[in-house]
Amino acid sequence: MRNKGFTLLELLLSLTIMAVIAAICFGVFHMGIRAWEKGENRVAANQRLRIIPELLRRQLASASMLKVWRQGHGFQFFRGTPKSLEFLSGIALRSRPDEGGAFVQYRVRTNPGGDTLDFYEMNLLRLRQLNGLLPTLTDGDFQTLASGWQGVTFAYLDPAPVPPEANPWVGEWDAVARNGTPRAVRITAQPRSGADPLVWIVPLAASRDARDDS
């Protein structure tokens, strides 16, 4: 009479089938986790794409309303390059309203994985304690707003280009040298390779004289 039980071959076949099934289940589970993480990253990236232009719009709306006073004269402070933007804003996003606005700096850092858009803010009360001297910043002073983009640049709309038919968008701006603030700031960014570039145009208040003796 044959003993009821499993032979070694049957046991090996069973273990092999169970291992294959487990591997398939693990692969499906891993693919699901990766798809979920990719979806979460896409949602977070889309949220940043909505937040960043609104952040700039709120602060740039009052960029031409504050002045730096030197030797009895008021000077608008607004300075921009293709990779950085500095100005005084009446709206402080990280400070209390009673601290009187903020000195704001945005900058673009180029890394092997793409560009990173960073943000720094110092309330004007602290800036006055430094006698108006702008701080020397390090990487640790900045907060990252977005990363992994390509070709992030700033450009500035000249309200009166010379000659009039010249391209009104310029890559450099100094409020004192140009006798006022630009009409708008344009931010260009490409979120990933092969995608269409994103362009945001943030209008400023009407350009004013950089120096006001009154």
Residue 115 lies in a domain: yes
Please indicate, yes or no, if residue 37 is contained in any of the structural domains.
no
Residue 71, Ramachandran bin (φ over 0: left; ψ between -120 and 50: alpha; else beta): left
**What's the domain range around 164?**
48-212
| 61-113 pLDDT, tens digit each | 777 555 555 444 455 688 999 999 998 887 777 666 555 678 889 999 988 87
Predicted confidence at residue 107, as pLDDT, reads 94
90 in any annotated domain:
yes
- Domain-embedded: residue 190: yes
Where does the chain have alpha helices with state H? Answer: 8-60, 124-129
What is the chain's length? 214
Q: What is the pLDDT of residues 29-43, one digit of tens each?
A: 778 777 766 656 655
Of 89, 111, 65, 83, nearest to 188 (Cα)?
A: 83
User: How far is the C-alpha of 124 from the C-alpha of 16, rounded, in Å?
Assistant: 70
pLDDT at residue number 46? 58
Give residue 47's pLDDT: 62
pLDDT bin (cut points 50, 70, 90) of residue 213 is very low
What number of other Cβ atoms are within 10 A of residue 200's Cβ? 16
pLDDT bin (cut points 50, 70, 90) of residue 131 is low
Predicted confidence (pLDDT) at residue 120 exceeds the cutoff of 70:
yes
pTM beyond 0.75: the answer is no
Which of helix, strand or coil describes residue 209? coil
78 within a domain of the structure (yes/no): yes
Question: Among 98, 14, 99, 104, which residue's Cα sits nearest to residue 57?
Answer: 104
Task: Work out how many domains the chain is built from and give that number.
Answer: 1
User: How distant is the alpha carbon of residue 171 from its chain centre?
Assistant: 18
Q: What's the pLDDT at 33?
A: 77
d(CA 213, CA 55): 32
Q: What is the pLDDT of residues 5-59, one digit of tens each?
A: 567 777 778 888 888 888 888 878 778 777 766 656 655 555 666 677 777 888 8
What is the tens place of the pLDDT at every residue in 136-181?
888 888 988 888 788 889 999 998 888 888 899 999 999 888 888 8
Q: Residue 161: inside a domain, yes or no?
A: yes
Q: Does 163 reside within a domain?
A: yes
The answer as to whether 148 is a domain residue is yes
* Least confident range of 84-88, 92-96, 115-119, 185-189: 92-96
Amino acid, single-letter form, for residue 70: R
Report which residue type is found at 153: T
DSSP E strands in 127-210: the ranges are 143-157, 169-170, 173-174, 184-190, 198-203
Q: What are phi and psi of 84, to 5 degrees?
A: -155, 160
Indicate whether 208 pLDDT > 60.
no
The more confident residue out of 2 and 111 is 111
